[in-house]
Chain A
């Protein structure tokens, strides 16, 4: 390499090739990422914890393994890990005060898999507390800034991971997506992110928010890199009873560049008044590009789209209220001083949880409480069926569905913090995908007048990750949009 300071700009695929040819070492690559972290973190705040020492040890081990031959594709690749994953021996806070001192005694399944591959973990990335938010402003450790404009949000909840990849602090990263938490920050930061089909990837060791919606997924610079990461993450896990036993395809092989004859569904409900016209224009241009490549556009309808957010905020908060009952200050985490048991619980949770987490626990508890269960929670679960059926019907007429990821580009820090409902509405185009359990890919498809990235969402039928990755990769290859590096 001519300039080692640019190693952090490599794709995973290119870095792996250079590592395997031993033209670069993982130690070298990891140091460049750590230097970049040291340089930009004061402005960006994408990481809660930087695991410098462990990363350099992992890098050395990876170099030895590569030297021995037969190293897996991710061996020696520096990654950022959302602070929602249990990492043995490294603090896992979930961006909450209540877990600020928690050091897990075990690894999440996907972390163990990545360790097995020889990947390098540079640190734990910032997020909205317990993955509840769309801007990473709900972190107990301060917001992550958007690398394209430091006065704007990185998106959320996996904002730290998206910003870290965009800023070149690591080559790829892990996020989680319950209502858009991978796709929306990917869109805002101009990187690629995929939420796989529900059950495709194990959730064991991932701090639970809404268990019927949560899914693990990667961030990367390219669709190919996302495919490489997803292959390493996916697959059956006896520790997660919901995890699918289907064999994991070699996603990279699906990237043929060929979309001729592909039927692309365009739902009218996702191109609505009130959305940023620049966003609409960019997605429409991308659709034209697909047509030019031989794909066929099909008008479809997803009639229950406007009910998705209401449905989500009952289902997700109900599940959250149950999942977060475990934070009681007894076995781990921070405990408040109190004279009796009930006060201990109440004070610990009052001091340990932030405002949004309290709001969602309260809402979920209310939706499940005596006299309201049928009207709120049961009704929402029935509406969820209607939303799923919309997609089942649509996929009879098309192979993928293309929409914007979000109605706008990255908004200003603080802009929506005092209005929870407005914040919730930023997930309007991503939330249905979680309710239906479908895979969704976010890729950059343009920039607005301020140079802020615009994201396009490609939705597939259950387990159609290969199709949506192929669709995204074909657009990337078309060269219609040249990814821009943040000036940072």
Chain B
């Protein structure tokens, strides 16, 4: 058995970063899947990428600038229409500050 690419503890840490509550059964399954995939992507290690620029974006336009102007008209009711829980003109969430 090759060395583990990712431990159960790391899986739990990543799940906390990603804000996903893992069911106990999921943890080992995810660890096994991620381990298999990470072992596979290890093949990138065969390539020498010294001095190679990373490709972040393939478009031709780069990152064009535009003037910082409001172009849409405010429509709070439309924005709130999908809120799971609302209170008057607000999105309602559980208490954050004790």
A residues near B (Cβ < 8 Å) are 101-103, 105, 198-199, 212, 238, 241-245, 304, 306-307, 309-311, 313-314, 321, 325, 328-335, 338-347, 349-350, 353, 355, 358-359, 361-363, 365-366, 369, 376, 378-386, 388, 420-421, 424, 435-437, 462
Contact = CB atoms under 8 A, between A and B. Distances in A.
Contacts, number: 167
B85 A369 contact: no
B82 A331 contact: yes
Contact of B54 (A304, A329, A363, A384): A384
Given A241-B63, A362-B30, A385-B53, A332 B83 contact: yes
B94 to A, nearest CB: 5
Contact of B41 (A334, A376, A381): A376
B44 A347 contact: no
B interface bracket (residues with beta carbon within 8 Å of A): 35 or more
Nearest to A212: B57
Q: Tell me if A's interface is mostly helix, strand, loop or mixed.
A: helix
A291 B39 CA distance: 42
B17 interface: yes
Given A346-B21, A382-B52, A436 B58 contact: yes
Contacts of A311: 44
17 contacts: A103-B81, A105-B82, A199-B60, A212-B56, A304-B47, A311-B44, A330-B93, A335-B84, A343-B21, A349-B18, A369-B14, A376-B41, A382-B53, A383-B44, A383-B49, A385-B54, A437-B58
Interface string B74-86: 0100110111110
Q: What 8 A-B pairs come out closest when comparing CB atoms?
A: A437-B58, A381-B54, A332-B82, A335-B84, A346-B21, A382-B49, A105-B78, A350-B21
**Residue among B6, B38, B40, B58 with most chain A CB within 10 A:** B58
Contacts of B38: 363, 366
Contacts of B85: 335
Contact of A369 (B17, B41, B46): B17
B59 interface: yes
